[in-house]
Amino acid sequence: MQPGDIAGIRQIGDLRVSPDGSAVAFGLTTIDLDDNRYTSRLWLAASDGSDRPRPFTSGPDDRLPRWSPDGRFLAFAVQQHGAAAQVCVIPVSTGGERVVVASWPGHISELEWSPDGSQIAMVARDPDAEAYGRPGEPVKEKERKPKRVTRLMSRIDSEGWLFDQPNRVLVVPSDGSAPPRVLTDGEFQSEGITWSPDGTRIAFTSGRHESFDLDWITDIWTVATDGKGDPQRVTAQRSSYALPSWSPDGSRIAFFSFHDPMVEPTHGQLGVVELSSGETIELTTDLDRNCAPYGSARPAVWDGERLLFGIEDSGNAHIYAVAADGNGKADPVLDGERWVSSWDYSGGTLAAAVTTPLTFTELVTKKIESSHSEERTLTDISRHFKAFVELVEPVPYTARSADGTEVPCWGMPPVGAEPAKRYPTLLNVHGGPFTQYGNKFFDEFQIECGAGFGVLYCNPRGSSGYSQAWGRAIRWPECEVDPGTGWGSVDFDDVMACVEEAAKRFEWVDPDRVGILGGSYGGYMTSWAISHTDRFKAAISERACNNLLSMEGTSDIGGFFRAYAGKSHLEIPDAYLRQSPITYVENITTPVMLLHSEDDLRCPISQAEELFVSLRLLGRGPVLIRFPGESHELSRSGSPRHRIKREELILEWFSEHL
């Protein structure tokens, strides 16, 4: 695989199964390199594989497919840059022209039909027209009114300002006979909509108390769909609740909760709240796994008296089921050495977008009322790509860290590796830190292998997918709850053990030509590593946190580190500097390239500038690459041309130095 092959990546996502379970609607995202953009259109597939999947809409910006309750219509959102967002409806059996039932000036992120099919609820941004103008008539930036900011987290990476374009809950007649009606107001963000079975109320999550930006608590609320009355709080303002799902009998709402948002990391747990009493029970604590997988979490789905939900487990993402009354244990419904990135269940049919290290996401279905039901793979979107690109399968192994802890690792030899020949090797470190590498297709690893490098990666302590104790091992010593050893401690030992064990185990690893790279927390670990060891011959620190003290005042999630540190940067500034790579900059002699996006709000580009200036003054010859117009998500969803250029720069740097 070469950098330009990024343009050939295709992804299936946002699945929805028809009410009777006979069909699956899904989005297929492709890359248009000429226009330097992503395109998305909707497809339909027979869940039993009796017909080949077929495109249902023409695109290029169709998303969020949603079946009407009778299965006759499909609603979806159209998001064209610079234009009003639209909610469209098409009859499934005949297809034909889309009917626009609603237009809205802000981005639409959720759609859900009412139980009787007469209305469609949506979550959408509500931009201040005076500040931003109207679709097609934007206010020039230098003519916009000044912003009056009074809270933390007033803007978010890749999305922009929040307080003057909050997420609202709206409803619109499904025939388009009236404009959308706004059900929530104020500066508060609302999301995660689910209809009550009688269609009179919608549940959602929101932090609507005075200190929501300080304590990060969000509650479950319900609001009348006729627009009369204020939202009513369901939960007790003591946790962060997310992704509610109303029970078919209307008596309960399932949710995911994070007990104390100020104690990071915390496993997302599936629970249920009884509406009549407000009593809550948690259903998944015995699993000791994160049940709200990063990047692929979705509401639990009711199947009679049990709930289906996603879970992270040891480099994989699976689907489990558990009794809603708390009796019995959770059991896997779809597992294996693979990653479920999107899924849905209805009418006895489970549909999932499943990826492995050698395949893009492929559509899989399974009838789950029978334990003997076989899976069907309905798509083969990877086939053409694999016909002309040789991919490398990872080899799992275990490394023993300095204190004897066993660390899960993977190694990938270069394409065409010859026996007994050693190759330059790259150690990749994931972001987070509470995320995980796993058994899914990852373009960056395949590109590195395709360029003649070996690839190593691991899930060090601090990663998700394992026990909560594993994730909390790198909380800071100052924490009153579950104190750990801090960032750059046992996690650093773990990634170093990954390298040393690989050098012993794999004959293709050249121990004298090893580089390190990573982004976000992986960038932090890269900067930390080269300031604490000369083991690596070259490094690329990308979108990194280099000065945690200054970052706490400039990031879009300013205040976040106290959830790991136990105290704020105002209380223990020395500890923030102690854990910062910038403090040890004089130790850095490894050739390093810094990659950063100029519009990164999560780890502002000043984080790269601080390290660059210091290294330049020390005469260490750093290189800083700045990507204009890109956010923290450059490597995942940045413009295709920038993603390709980024990979070319990475390969050039390590080819030169290794």
650 — pLDDT class (breaks 50, 70, 90): very high
pLDDT of residue 543: 98
Q: What percent of the chain has pLDDT over 90?
A: 96
Beta bridge partners of 646: none
How far apart CA 542 and CA 638 sit, in angstroms, is 14
Q: Mean pLDDT across the stretch 279-298? A: 91
In the beta sheet, which residues pair with residue 55? 43
- Residues above pLDDT 70, as percent of the chain: 100
Q: Tokens 């000043």 sit at which residue?
A: 606
Q: Are 284 and 274 in contact (CB under 8 A)?
A: no
Domain membership of residue 645 as a residue range: 390-657
Number of domains, the chain: 1
pLDDT band of 94, cuts 50, 70, 90: confident
Q: DSSP for 509-570, please give it.
A: EEEEEEEEEEETHHHHHHHHHHTT----SEEEEES----HHHHTTTSTTTTTTHHHHSS-TT
Does residue 527 belong to any structural domain of this protein?
Answer: yes
Cα–Cα distance between 269 and 259 in angstroms, integer?
8
- Sign of the CA dihedral with 634 first, then 637, 639, and 644 last: positive
Query: What is the DSSP track for 560-574?
Result: TTHHHHSS-TTT-HH
Q: Of 248 and 296, which is predicted with more confidence?
A: 248
Tell me, what amino acid is at 450?
A: G
pLDDT class of 372 with cuts at 50, 70, 90: low
Q: What are phi and psi of 646, to 5 degrees?
A: -55, -45
Instruction: Assess contact for 15 and 25: CB atoms under 8 A.
Output: yes
CB contact at 8 A, 343 and 17:
no
In 80-200 the beta strands, taken as DSSP E runs, fall at: 85-91, 99-104, 108-113, 119-125, 133-134, 137-138, 155-156, 160-161, 167-173, 181-182, 191-195
Q: What is the DSSP letter of 5?
A: G
Tell me the per-residue pLDDT of 493-530, one tens digit each, with 9 for 90 and over: 999 999 999 999 999 999 999 999 999 999 999 999 99
For the stretch 301-325, pLDDT in tens is 999 999 999 999 999 999 999 999 9
Distance CA 3, CA 472 (A): 36
511 occurs within a structural domain? yes
Provide the pLDDT for residue 240. 96
How much is the pLDDT for 374?
Answer: 87
Among 457, 458, 456, 450, smallest CA distance to 417 is for 450
Would you call 242 helix, strand, or coil by DSSP? strand
Cis peptide before 265 (omega within 30 of 0): yes
Q: How far apart are CA 231 and CA 222, in angstroms?
A: 5
82 falls in which pLDDT band (50, 70, 90)? confident
Q: What is the distance between the alpha carbons of residues 330 and 274, in angstroms, rounded to a whole number?
A: 20
Count CA within 13 A, CB hemisphere, residue 490: 24
CATH code of residue 429: 3.40.50.1820
3-state secondary structure 458-476: ECCCCCCCCCHHHHHCCCC
**Residue 103 domain-assigned?**
no
pLDDT digits (tens, 9 = 90+) for 333-343: 999 999 999 99
Whether 441 is in a domain gets the answer: yes
Closest among 65, 97, 61 to 80, alpha carbons compared: 61
* Residue 245: pLDDT over 70: yes
- Check if the beta carbon of residue 411 is closer than 8 Å to that of residue 505: yes
Decide: 532 and 578 in contact? Cβ < 8 Å. Answer: no
pLDDT digits (tens, 9 = 90+) for 25-49: 999 999 999 999 999 999 999 999 9
Q: Two tokens at 155?
A: 């803007």
Report the distance separating Cα 455 and Cα 394, nearest Å. 9
Q: What is the mean pLDDT of the chain?
A: 96
Residue where the block lists tokens 């015995």: 286
Q: 3-class secondary structure for 587-642?
A: HCCCCEEEEEECCCCCCCCHHHHHHHHHHHHCCCCCEEEEECCCCCCHHHHCCHHH
Q: What backbone phi and psi angles, to 5 degrees, belong to 493?
A: -60, -40
* Separation between Cα atoms, residue 588 and residue 328, nearest integer Å: 54
> Is 644 inside any structural domain?
yes
Specify the DSSP element, H or E, that contains 152.
Answer: none
Residue 37 in domain:
no
Q: Are 40 and 29 in contact (CB under 8 A)?
A: yes
Count of other CB atoms within 10 angstroms of residue 207:
22
What is the Cβ-side half-sphere exposure of residue 537, based on CA atoms within 13 angstroms? 15
pLDDT, tens digit, 9 for 90 and up, residues 57-70: 999 999 999 999 99
pLDDT value of position 371: 58
